[in-house]
């Protein structure tokens, strides 16, 4: 498993021991305490083998604060004035509110999800983005996404959608962090 060409895999050993590989990380644990390299705890014994996990979704009503316990993340959404936009803030992104197709949600990944990454013409599958960023399979379903009725708008710390880009024509700005 460690020396093979596959970047992910799992071995089930006697005494309920599981050995898994997630890119450059080897994890050895008991099945009832499976942890991924991200630190998220799995909800089932076979999360690496594509088992269904719990779905989460929470509607965003601006302004608000939302906690996603599964990902150990807190979100804050608020309206800001154009002169308050600071793209150098590491944990904050800014949306053109009028380009959002309500309602907006924080949710986990769904089959077929796509995003138009900032600066791209077309869309890209989230699964391809996760592979490019070497995000382990076992943690992808736990990553909170910000989405509206049309598509994914933001994958925190990974990608922002070109569709909600701030322009000179932007009238109403949402700050998300």
pLDDT in tens, 144-159: 999 999 999 999 999 9
Share of the chain above pLDDT 70, in %: 86
Q: Which helix (H) or strand (E) holds 128?
A: helix 126-132
Taking 50 as the threshold, does the pLDDT of residue 50 lie above it?
A: no
Share of the chain above pLDDT 90, in %: 46
Q: Is 0.75 topped by the overall pTM?
A: no
Long-range CB pairs of 83-86, under 8 A, 24+ apart, other chains included: 84/173, 84/175, 85/166, 85/173, 85/175
* Tens-digit pLDDT profile for residues 7-43: 777 777 787 777 877 777 887 877 644 444 334 333 3
Other C-beta atoms within 10 Å of 166: how many?
A: 16
């Amino acid at each position: 498993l460690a020396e093979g060409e596959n970047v992910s895999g799992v071995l089930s050993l006697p005494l309920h021991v599981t050995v898994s590989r997630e890119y450059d990380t080897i994890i050895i644990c008991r099945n009832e305490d499976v942890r991924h390299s991200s630190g998220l705890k799995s909800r089932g014994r076979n999360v690496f083998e594509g088992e269904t996990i719990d779905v989460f979704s929470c509607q965003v009503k601006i302004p608000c604060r939302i906690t996603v316990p599964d990902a150990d993340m807190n979100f804050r959404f608020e309206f800001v004035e154009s002169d308050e936009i600071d793209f150098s803030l590491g944990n904050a992104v800014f949306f053109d509110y009028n380009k959002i197709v309500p309602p907006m949600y924080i949710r986990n990944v769904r089959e077929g999800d796509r995003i138009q990454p900032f600066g791209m013409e077309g869309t890209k599958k989230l699964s391809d983005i996760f592979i490019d960023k070497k995000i382990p399979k076992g943690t992808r379903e736990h990553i909170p996404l910000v989405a509206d009725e049309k598509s994914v708008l933001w994958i925190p710390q990974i990608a922002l959608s070109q569709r909600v880009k701030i322009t000179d024509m932007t009238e109403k700005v949402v700050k998300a962090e």
